[in-house]
Amino acid sequence: MSFRVFVPRDTTALSLGADAVAARLEREAATRGLEMTVVRNGSRGAAWLEPLVEVETVNGRVAYGPVTPGDVPALLDSGLLEGNVSHPLARGLTEEIDYFARQQRLTFARIGITDPLSIDDYRAHRGFCGLEAALRREPQDIVEEVKASGLRGRGGAAFPTGIKWQTVLDTPADQKYIVCNADEGDSGTFADRLAMECDPYMLIEGMAIAGLAVEATQGYIYLRSEYPLAKQILDEAIARAEQAGYLGDNLCGSGRVFHLEVRLGAGAYICGEETSLLESLEGKRGMVRFKPPLPAIEGLFGLPTVVNNVLSLAAVPFILSEGAEAYASHGMGRSRGTLALQLAGNVQRGGLVELAFGTTLRTLMEEFGGGTASGRPLRAVQVGGPLCAYLPESQWDMPLDYETFADVGAGVGHGGVVMFDESVDMAEQARFSMEFCKVESCGKCTPCRIGSTRGVEVIDRIRADQHREANLALLHDLCETMVDGSLCAMGGMTPFPVQSALKHFPDDFQRTADGDRS
């Protein structure tokens, strides 16, 4: 009898030794004369269980994790290949693990189940059904479907995707572009990476559908250079998709055209801002452009361009194949569908949690996350990336929904949830926000470029107890100047984490940097 064992190959699994686990499994199988194939699947997104080894059984896949190479012999002895669950690392049937069973996986329905590069696997799980449906419909029809789904941009600004597409469709031009924003610069986020590394055809399909919808024939994925594995997987997936007729000059034999290419960024956070990204794609410094004109009208090389986040585009195949209503029926208020939350930082069970909008942060952090990794009390949470507020416990019961968060000056952003335990020094976090802005500012506006430098200095003085009250007042003013006088959200939102730290954790600004209360 031949066994199939799965060992994930995404960055997180690899960072925890998945390659060594796979090698050890193969070696043990050889010595024991077992007929066993190791499939390198994507990750299921439960980072805390990685490397998560699975074995196929008649009842479904059985999971073991987190596995180290040293665990392999004992796991085999205990009957891993038969799905025996007596070993302490056994987790039972994968699908029944609470962490997965309680999620609503619409976009991430396939990750970890398939071999990311196998087109057959992809097709076996409804892959390319959305593209086939789109090929039978008029551009306006596709745009209407996306509008009806209520999908809003997942890159941070939450702009309705269908409306953006409409503008591009309505702007006549000989050449239009689909640009995927895969810069994923926010700390605490990795959902784009998981989508690209674990289900690359989903993004390819979403982009091809976008191309059909707005009559664009060329797409670019602007990928951050910090993701070399995603680059390798996407390049290979694109080559295979071309070969199979899902990209290129004759999509599925329809005569329709869509070409796709991956372009690497070069370590600049600001290039996640869409106009800076377009400058960068054009081969220039990533200086933010004034808007208008909107990229939808004058985007890449001055031509109409859809710029969408990876997850916005990745949601599209589902919407086209299952219908707008299947997507829109999830969520709350004006936040439709599901949100890919990423539990990160000081968390017991970190990873990807895809849920309909409306869950509370507390549910997420406690029931999924299991609290802090350190076991010490949770103190602050930064949701939505480095430009978003730190939330104190009083705000953990808000439902995750764009409007609810916006009402209290917080953001959902790209869904990153970074947890900090009680050892965090919020004045130090505020300093980092300013420092990050100083390092990453494109330099176009003074409040951002100079303000962030001043911000670091002022916080240093506060922490050194030099004219504390005067410098605190100065910091408040500086934050306001940055909010009011910056062209983009880099300078305009960097104050949010700082102001939230000042407001909710004032004590941390009353002690010196070495921790003594003054």
Partner 1 sequence: MRESREWTPQSIQTEIDALKHKPGALLPILHAIQDRFGFVPEGAVPIIAESLGQTRTEVHGVISFYHHFRTSPPGRHVLQVCRAEACQSVGGRALEAHAKARLGIDYHQTTTDREITLEAVYCLGNCACGPSIRVGNEVWGRVTPTAFDALVDELCTQPLEVIG
Ligand X SMILES: Cc1cc2nc3c(=O)[nH]c(=O)nc-3n(C[C@H](O)[C@H](O)[C@H](O)COP(=O)(O)O)c2cc1C
* Footprint of ligand X (CB under 6 A): 153-157, 159, 181, 183-185, 270, 272-274, 307-309, 312, 488-490
Q: Is 433 in the site for ligand FES (CB under 6 A)?
A: no
**Count of C-beta atoms within a 10 Å radius of residue 291:** 12
- Least distance in angstroms from the C-beta of 493 to ligand X: 7
| H or E stretch at 90 | strand 90-93
Which option in ligand FES, ligand SF4, partner 1, none does residue 416 bind, with CB closer than 5 to 8 A by kind? partner 1
Q: CB of 312 within 8 A of CB of 154?
A: yes
Let me know how long the chain is.
518
Q: Does 309 bind partner 1 (CB under 8 A)?
A: no
- The amino acid at residue 249 is D
Q: Identity (one letter) of the amino acid at 475?
A: L
Regarding 114 and contact with partner 1 (CB under 8 A), the answer is no
Residue with tokens 């031949």: 2
Closest C-alpha among 426, 425, 424, 420 to residue 371: 420
Number of Cβ within a 10 Å radius of residue 439: 10
In angstroms, what is the minimal distance from the CB of 347 to ligand FES? 12
> Is residue 50 a contact partner of residue 16, using CB atoms and an 8 Å limit?
yes
Size of the site for partner 1 (CB under 8 A): 60
x/- map, 246-285, ligand SF4, by CB under 6 A: ------------------------x---------------
**Does 420 interact with partner 1 (rule: CB under 8 A)?**
yes
Residue 471 binding result from partner 1, ligand X, ligand FES, none, given CB thresholds of 5 to 8 Å by partner type: ligand FES
| ω into 51 cis (within 30 of 0) | yes
Cβ(312)–Cβ(184) below 8 Å: no
For ligand X, which is the closer residue by CB, 8 or 386? 386
Answer with the entry of ligand X, ligand SF4, partner 1, none that 404 interacts with (C-beta below 5 to 8 A by kind): none
CA angle 431, 186, 11 (to 5 degrees): 125
Q: How far does CA 258 lie from the centroid of its chain?
A: 25
- Which of 99, 436, 496, 505 touches partner 1 (CB under 8 A)? 436
Nearer to ligand FES, 71 or 184 (CB): 184
159 binds partner 1 (CB under 8 A): no
Q: Which of 23, 38, 93, 229 binds partner 1 (CB under 8 A)?
A: 229
In the complex, minimum distance from the CB of residue 31 to ligand FES, in angstroms, rounded to a whole number: 37
Asked if residue 344 lies in contact with residue 325, where contact means CB atoms within 8 angstroms, the answer is no
Closest to 229 measured CA to CA, from 382, 42, 50, 435: 42
Map residues 176-215 to x or -, x wherever contact with ligand FES holds by CB under 6 A: -----------x----------------------------
Do the Cβ atoms of 265 and 224 come closer than 8 Å? yes
Q: Which of 290, 300, 291, 284 is nearest to 181 (CA)?
A: 300
CB of 49: closest distance to ligand FES in angstroms?
A: 18
Site residues for ligand SF4 per CB under 6 A: 270, 288, 441-445, 448-449, 486-488, 490-492
Site residues for ligand FES per CB under 6 A: 187, 454, 457-458, 461, 471, 474
